[in-house]
Amino acid sequence: MSNPKELQTKLGYHFKNASLLNIALTHPSVAQEKKQIEHNQRLEFLGDAVIQLVLSHELFKRFPTYNEGLLTKTRARLVNRRTLAEISRQLGLGPYLIMSKGEESHGGRDRTSILADAFEAIIGAIYLDGGLQAASNFILQHFAKYLDELPGTPSSWNPKGELQEYLQAKSQEPPVYKLLSVRGPDHDREFECMVLHQGIPLATGKGKSKKAAEAEAAYLALKKLRSADSETESAHAEKNKKQT
């Protein structure tokens, strides 16, 4: 790999164990020439699972009315070789890939399948190096454009707006958001926010931006409040049933 520090700056993630990045960039063709070289297929397997998990969670939050089938179809629109390779090209991964001369001579550095596999392997490497939160931050950052382009995203997921409507239907006072903390280096910040109503804390959320943390807090507050409403309605229904 020509300049690992330069690539890590491009990625916006700095590895504690740089050998993981080296493995993630190593195509299996190298291992065919040099038997002792570890290639990226195992990391690719792991990264694929992490991407599926993170984006499944994100879609679950964004589309609260979608059933399992719609969520699965929407995820399939996001996670495909074309998109993964496109992100790899945006990151400029091609020149950093480690492959055999034969693979390179056949256009391997810009081949969609190889770039997609490399991106998955890098996710696997970040997960092993920094944990799920670091991998999640990286995935959501690079999938943000594709998530926002999904049909119905702006209207289907606006937890702050939904929470405000919910609370103002019960009282005139809107929710208030409070920034609790900002952790991590500049390239990997984590924000934590709390949402309050009439001075009472409702929920806290975390995210890679203040806006994302507030949205997470609003979503969790809505979930909590609606769950309480459902329990109250069930209790009233049970009470009325006993009285009749």
pLDDT in tens, 156-207: 457 888 899 889 888 878 999 999 999 988 877 889 999 999 999 999 998 8
Residue type present at position 49: A
Q: Are 211 and 179 in contact (CB under 8 A)?
A: no
Please give the backbone phi and psi of residue 106, each rounded to the nearest 5 degrees, phi first: -100, 20
Report the percent of the chain where pLDDT is more than 90: 51
For CATH 3.30.160.20, the residue range(s) in the chain are 158-243
How many other CB atoms sit within 10 Å of the CB of residue 48?
A: 19
Confidence grade of residue 139 (pLDDT, cut at 50, 70, 90): very high
Averaged confidence pLDDT in the chain: 87
Long-range contacts at 175-180 (CB < 8 A, ≥ 24 apart): 175/202, 175/218, 175/221, 177/214, 177/217, 179/210, 179/213, 180/204
Note the pLDDT tens digit of each residue in 8-50: 998 999 999 999 999 999 999 987 766 678 899 999 999 999 9
Over residues 88-112, mean pLDDT: 91
Place of tokens 């990286």: 138
State the CATH class of domain 158-243. alpha beta
Q: Are 216 and 205 in contact (CB under 8 A)?
A: yes
pTM for the full predicted model: 0.64
Q: Are 95 and 149 in contact (CB under 8 A)?
A: no
Give the integer Cα–Cα distance in Å for 125 and 218: 32
**What pLDDT shows up at residue 154?**
46
**What pLDDT shows up at residue 240?**
62
For CATH 1.10.1520.10, the residue range(s) in the chain are 4-155
**What pLDDT shows up at residue 75?**
92
* Overall fold of domain 4-155: Ribonuclease iii, N-terminal Endonuclease Domain; Chain A (1.10.1520)
Residues 6+ apart with CB under 8 A from 119: 47, 84, 85, 87, 88, 91, 93
Over residues 145-150, mean pLDDT: 85
Confidence grade of residue 228 (pLDDT, cut at 50, 70, 90): confident
Over residues 85-93, mean pLDDT: 94
**What pLDDT shows up at residue 35?**
66
Catalytic residue set? 48, 120
| In the predicted structure, residue 232 carries a pLDDT above the cut 80 | no
Report the percent of the chain where pLDDT is more than 70: 89
Confidence grade of residue 155 (pLDDT, cut at 50, 70, 90): very low
Over residues 56-69, mean pLDDT: 85
